[in-house]
C-alpha cells in the first residue's frame, strides 16, 4: 500500500474513532458500534503486519489513540445486569407481573384467584347458592363439585382436576338436576320438602336416595303445578319448591273435613285463629297457618303439610302473641275486634301493631281481667271473641293518643343489631339453616331480626325483594348500617363503613367483608328496619 493511501486510511479510521467518542458523550453507544471499533482495530493490526518498524512508528500517535478509545468504549458498552427477574429493560423501569400458576388440582383448602371463576360457574349452573365468589375452596364448594361430578358420571371426590374442569367450563355444561338413582344431601332436602307438601306419604321416605317413589312425587308435583313432567328436580322445579306459588298435595284452601276442624281447634287454642272453627279451610285458616309457620321456624306457604300438622298438634308448638312491631292480617283482625269493642278507632285498623294499638289492647286487658302486657295471645283473642266483655271506661279516648299506629318502633337499635350479627361471624353455612349455630343467607337475616324482636317471618332472598313493610332504599349509595341488602339470589346485613355481614356459601361461613363491586353490580334493593 502506498504511503498516500495508508495516510488516507488512517485518517478515515481516526474520523470513525472520533465519531464513536461523540456517541459516547451523548450516551447513545450501541453494541454494534463497539463491534465496529474492535473490527477496525483488527484491520489495523492486519495491515501493519510485515511493515517496517519505521512505518509503524510513524503512526504511533494515531494507533495509540485508536487503541485507547476502543478499550474505553468496550468497557462502557458492557451489558448491565438485569435488576429483577423477568425485567429485560432496567433503564425503562418495566416490571413484568406474573400470576401464581394455577394448581393442577383444585381441592378443599386451596386458595387461588381461579377458584372465584369456578364458584361463579357452579352458581350459574345451579350447584351453589348465588353469592359473591371468592378465591377460597371450602367445604360448600367441595359439596357442589361432588354433585356436579355425580351429574356428569365422574368420580365424586370433590376435586377439580383434568377430568372435571373442562366439563365445568364448557359452554354446554349441564345444569343442576336431581334424578332417579342420585344419592346425596341435596336429594334428602328435596324429599323433605316433597313430604311437607304432601307428595311423599311418610317421613320414612326421606332417605337421600332418589328412588322411584321420589320420582313419582316429583312427577305429580310437576303435573299439579303445570310444569314440564320429566320426574327430575331441575332449576325450575327447585325454585318452585320454596315459592309462595307452589300448589301442595295436601289440605288447602276450600277443603272441608274433620281433619281441618281438629287443626282449627288447635290453632284457636294457640291464639292463631281469630274466628270460630268450622271445619272449612278458608282464608282465615290459611292466614293462621302462615302465622303459625312463621313463628315456629317453618317454611311459610299456608299449607297444612305433614310437618306443619305435626308441630301444630305437638306440645312444642309456640303460641301466638301479637306485639309491638308486628304487621300482618292478624293484626288487622285484632284491631277490628278492639274497634268493635270500643277501644280503638276504626281508622287505626292499619294492619300495623303500633303504640296506639298497644295502648288500646292494654286498656282492654285491664278492663277484662287479663294481664295487661300489651300482647295479644290466645286468652286475649278468646275474650275478644266472646259475648261478655267489658267496654271502655268513661273518658277512654278509644285510641286517639299514645303514638303512631304505623312506622317502626322496635326494641334495640342498629348498634345492637350489628352486635348480634357479628356474634355469629365464623358460624358454618348450611343450606336451609336458620340458626342458632348454622345459617344460610336468608336464615341468618331471619335469626338476627328475631333476636331484635322484629316480628318478621322467614323469607327467602327472592321474598326479600318485596317484604312490604320497611323503608325502601333504591340506591346502593344510600345504604346505611342495619339495612337489609338484597342482591340477585342473596341477602345480607349492612354493617356500616362499606361492609356487610352475611352467611356466605362461597366462604362456607358467616363473614364480615367489604361490600365490593359484586354487591353493587347485583344490587336489587335494600330495606331500612330502624
CATH code of the domain covering residue 293 = 1.10.101.10
Instruction: Judge if 25 and 51 occupy the same domain.
Output: yes
For 75, residues 6+ apart whose C-beta sits below 8 A from its C-beta are none
- Number of separate domains in the chain: 6
In a domain, 98, yes or no: no
Q: Is 280 inside a domain boundary?
A: yes
3-state helix, strand, coil in the chain (%, to 5): 45, 10, 45
For residues 471 and 521, membership in a common domain is answered with yes
Give a yes or no: residue 107 inside a domain: no
Residue 247 included in any domain: no
| Whether residues 396 and 424 fall in one domain | no
* 108 falls within a domain: no
Note whether 354 and 331 are same-domain residues: yes
CATH classification of the domain holding 452? 3.90.1720.10
Residue 249 three-state SS: coil
| 97 lies in some domain | no
Based on the domain organization, do 432 and 518 belong to the same domain?
Answer: yes
Whether residue 440 sits in one domain with residue 383: no
Q: Tell me what pLDDT residue 415 has.
A: 86
SS3 at position 325: coil
Give the residue from 363, 385, 409 where a domain finishes. 409
pLDDT the model gives residue 13: 59
Domain membership of residue 42 (yes or no) is yes
Give just the sign of the alpha carbon dihedral 245, 250, 256, 260.
negative
β-strands 471-473, 233-234 pairing: unpaired
Return the ∠ at Cα 439 (arms to 435 and 443), rounded to 5°: 80
pLDDT of residue 48: 46
- CA 376, CA 239: separation in Å to the nearest integer? 35
Beta-strand runs (E) in 435-529:
471-473, 484-487, 490-496, 499-504, 509-514, 523-528
Q: What is the pLDDT of residue 7?
A: 65
169 SS3 class: helix
402 and 503, same domain (yes or no): no
DSSP-derived secondary structure letter, 204: G
Q: Are residues 405 and 420 in the same domain?
A: no
Residue 246 is classified by DSSP as: P
CB atoms within 10 A of CB 445: 29
Per-residue model confidence (pLDDT) at position 416 = 86
Give pLDDT, residue 201: 86
Domain end marker among 371, 392, 409: 409
Q: b vs e for 3-13, b when ≥16 Cβ sit within 10 Å of the residue's Cβ?
A: eeebeeebeeb
Q: Is residue 280 classed as helix, strand or coil in its secondary structure?
A: strand
C-alpha cell at 122: 357452579
The residue out of 350, 378, 409 marking a domain boundary is 409
The reported pLDDT for the residue numbered 224 is 92
Asked if residue 129 lies in contact with residue 441, where contact means CB atoms within 8 angstroms, the answer is yes
* Coil, strand or helix at 177: strand
Task: Name all contacts of 182-187 with Cβ < 8 Å and 24+ positions apart.
Answer: 182/150, 182/151, 182/209, 182/210, 183/150, 183/208, 183/209, 183/210, 184/146, 184/147, 184/150, 184/208, 185/143, 186/147, 187/214
Element (H, E) at 233: strand 233-234
- Shared domain check, 165 and 76: no
Per the domain annotation, does 318 fall within a domain? no
Pair 11, 69 in one domain: yes
N-term to C-term CA, the chain: 105
Kindly state whether residues 297 and 277 are assigned to the same domain: yes
Report the pLDDT value the prediction gives residue 436, as an integer from 0 to 100. Answer: 84
Task: State whether 452 and 421 are in the same domain.
Answer: yes
Q: Give the C-alpha separation, 136 to 505, whole Å.
A: 11
Alpha carbon distance 340, 326 (integer Å) = 21
- Residue 76's SS3 state is helix
Structural domain that includes position 205: 185-241
**CA–CA separation, 433 and 437 (whole Å):** 9
> pLDDT averaged over consecutive 10-residue blocks of the chain (530 residues)?
61 63 52 45 45 44 47 49 50 57 93 95 93 93 96 96 96 95 94 91 93 96 94 90 81 84 92 89 91 85 86 89 80 88 87 88 89 84 80 60 35 78 93 87 91 78 82 94 93 94 94 92 92
Amino acid at each position: 500500500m502506498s504511503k498516500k493511501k495508508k495516510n488516507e486510511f488512517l485518517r478515515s479510521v481516526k474520523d470513525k474513532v472520533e465519531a464513536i467518542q461523540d456517541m459516547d458523550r451523548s450516551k447513545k453507544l450501541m453494541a454494534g458500534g463497539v463491534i465496529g471499533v474492535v473490527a477496525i482495530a483488527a484491520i489495523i493490526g492486519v495491515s501493519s503486519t510485515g511493515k517496517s518498524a519505521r512505518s509503524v512508528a510513524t503512526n504511533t500517535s494515531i494507533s495509540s489513540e485508536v487503541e485507547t478509545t476502543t478499550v474505553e468504549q468496550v468497557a462502557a458498552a458492557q451489558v448491565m445486569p438485569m435488576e429483577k427477574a423477568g425485567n429485560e429493560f432496567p433503564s425503562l423501569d418495566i416490571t413484568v407481573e406474573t400470576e401464581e400458576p394455577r394448581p393442577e388440582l383444585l381441592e378443599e383448602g386451596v386458595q387461588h384467584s381461579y377458584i372465584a371463576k369456578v364458584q361463579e360457574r357452579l352458581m350459574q349452573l345451579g350447584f351453589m347458592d348465588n353469592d359473591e365468589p371468592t378465591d377460597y375452596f371450602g367445604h360448600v364448594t367441595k359439596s357442589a363439585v361432588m354433585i356436579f361430578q355425580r351429574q356428569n358420571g365422574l368420580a365424586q371426590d370433590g376435586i377439580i382436576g383434568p377430568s372435571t374442569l373442562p366439563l365445568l367450563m364448557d359452554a354446554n355444561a349441564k345444569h343442576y338436576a336431581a334424578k332417579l338413582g342420585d344419592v346425596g344431601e341435596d336429594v334428602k332436602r328435596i324429599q323433605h320438602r316433597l313430604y311437607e307438601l304432601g307428595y311423599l306419604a311418610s317421613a320414612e321416605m326421606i332417605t337421600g336416595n332418589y328412588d322411584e317413589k321420589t320420582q313419582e312425587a316429583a312427577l305429580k308435583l310437576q303435573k299439579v303445578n303445570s310444569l314440564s313432567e320429566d320426574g327430575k328436580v331441575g332449576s325450575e322445579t327447585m325454585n318452585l319448591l320454596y315459592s309462595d306459588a307452589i300448589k301442595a298435595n295436601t289440605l288447602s284452601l276450600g277443603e272441608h273435613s274433620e281433619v281441618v276442624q281438629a287443626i282449627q281447634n288447635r290453632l284457636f287454642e294457640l291464639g292463631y285463629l281469630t274466628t270460630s272453627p268450622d271445619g272449612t279451610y278458608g282464608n282465615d285458616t290459611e292466614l293462621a297457618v302462615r302465622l303459625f309457620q312463621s313463628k315456629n321456624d317453618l317454611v311459610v306457604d299456608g299449607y297444612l303439610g305433614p310437618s306443619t300438622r305435626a308441630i301444630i298438634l305437638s306440645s312444642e308448638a309456640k303460641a301466638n302473641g301479637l306485639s309491638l312491631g308486628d304487621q300482618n292480617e292478624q293484626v288487622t283482625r285484632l284491631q277490628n275486634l278492639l274497634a268493635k269493642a270500643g277501644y280503638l278507632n276504626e281508622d287505626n285498623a292499619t294492619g300495623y301493631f303500633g303504640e296506639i294499638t298497644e295502648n288500646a289492647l292494654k286498656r282492654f286487658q285491664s278492663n277484662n281481667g287479663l294481664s295487661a302486657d300489651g300482647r295479644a295471645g290466645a286468652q286475649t283473642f278468646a275474650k275478644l271473641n266472646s259475648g261478655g266483655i267489658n267496654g271502655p271506661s268513661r273518658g277512654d279516648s278509644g285510641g286517639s293518643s299514645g303514638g303512631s299506629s304505623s312506622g317502626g318502633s322496635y326494641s334495640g337499635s342498629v348498634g345492637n343489631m350489628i352486635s348480634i350479627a357479628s356474634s355469629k361471624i365464623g358460624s358454618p353455612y348450611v343450606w336451609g339453616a336458620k340458626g342458632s349455630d348454622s345459617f344460610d343467607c336468608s336464615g341468618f337475616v331471619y335469626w338476627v331480626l328475631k333476636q331484635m324482636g322484629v316480628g318478621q317471618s322467614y323469607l327467602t332472598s327472592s321474598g326479600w325483594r318485596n317484604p312490604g313493610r320497611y323503608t325502601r332504599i333504591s340506591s346502593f349509595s344510600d345504604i346505611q348500617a342495619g339495612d337489609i341488602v338484597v342482591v340477585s339470589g342473596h341477602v345480607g346485613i349492612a354493617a356500616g363503613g362499606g361492609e356487610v355481614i352475611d352467611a356466605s356459601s362461597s366462604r362456607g361461613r358467616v363473614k364480615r367483608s367489604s361490600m365490593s363491586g359484586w354487591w353493587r353490580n347485583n344490587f336489587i334493593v335494600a330495606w331500612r328496619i330502624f
